[in-house]
Structure 1
């Protein structure tokens, strides 16, 4: 019985992990360059594209921990840069932002939740 429970628990965890994977298409090279440059100015290990990176959630926090000084600085720098990007990329960024924010809020580790930026 314990073995069956362990297998079921492992299967549920695997399904939950697969469902919660970061699976968002890139908005475009210009927007990506803007977020990367703004992120690396604030945090040299910034990486918002590789979910396996140990810095992935910390990097996303610069975008999604609203109202913090780091997020304000990041959004100001990346937003100013994005004004020079093609409108299709800007529109894609605005459309994906709320979906990514929701994903981040549901998946961020507790350590990031408590971190002061």
Structure 2
């Protein structure tokens, strides 16, 4: 049986700020930005090298609501860590939060815009 690494302590550090930023997102574009930036920061910390948010794509209408670009998938270290840890489950949880907020904001964009104008 192979050893499973856990990055849940890193997830717990990112989660409060992430949830606050997602909940304060005013539109679907902001939700996407918060998700991709947070995942990029988390991966940067895990991998020990800078990962940019453009290596992550948020796809809320797809069965898997995110994907990684080839620039990230080609990194051997990324593949090793992703396959031998809970990193996939962590990113799944982050994407679920973003997807719910995205759905909420996309249902009534004119109502959301009215709230923004009042502030």
TM-score (norm 1): 0.35
TM-score (norm 2): 0.34
Larger strand fraction of residues: 2
Higher relative contact order (CA 8 A, sep 6+): 2
